[in-house]
Amino acid sequence: ASSRASITARDILAAAQGQPVPQHGYQCMSCCRIFPTLWSVKTHIQHSSQEGYSCKVYYRKLKALREKEHKAQEAAAPKV
């Protein structure tokens, strides 16, 4: 169910953490294209299959992996 969740701006920015930031825009971490606004990269991701890219799949998988990792960290944390 969480793998079907929509990709948010926070997901896009989290995927780009630690990567060099282009001076004039946002980079899709899947196909490496650069877009002028966060909204435009989000729109690209949502409609990537129509453009011949699989960016939406990439971001969904990445989001699912981050959620799984977060749950594992919570489970491993000592209970007070």
For residue 35, what are the β-bridge partners? 26
Q: Is residue 41 domain-resident? A: yes
Q: Is residue 30 domain-resident? A: yes
pTM for the predicted model, two decimal places: 0.66
Residue 37's domain comprises: 24-75
Reported as type and span, the H/E element at residue 27 is strand 26-27
Angle at 11 between CA 5 and CA 16, to 5 degrees: 150
Q: Is residue 5 domain-resident? A: no
Q: What is the pLDDT of residue 1?
A: 45
* Cα distances (angstroms) measured from residue 37 to each of 27, 43, 62: 9, 10, 21
Helices (H), the chain: 9-15, 38-46, 55-76
The pLDDT tens digits of the residues spanning 8-55 come to: 888 887 777 766 555 778 889 999 998 998 899 999 999 998 988 899
DSSP-derived secondary structure letter, 1: -
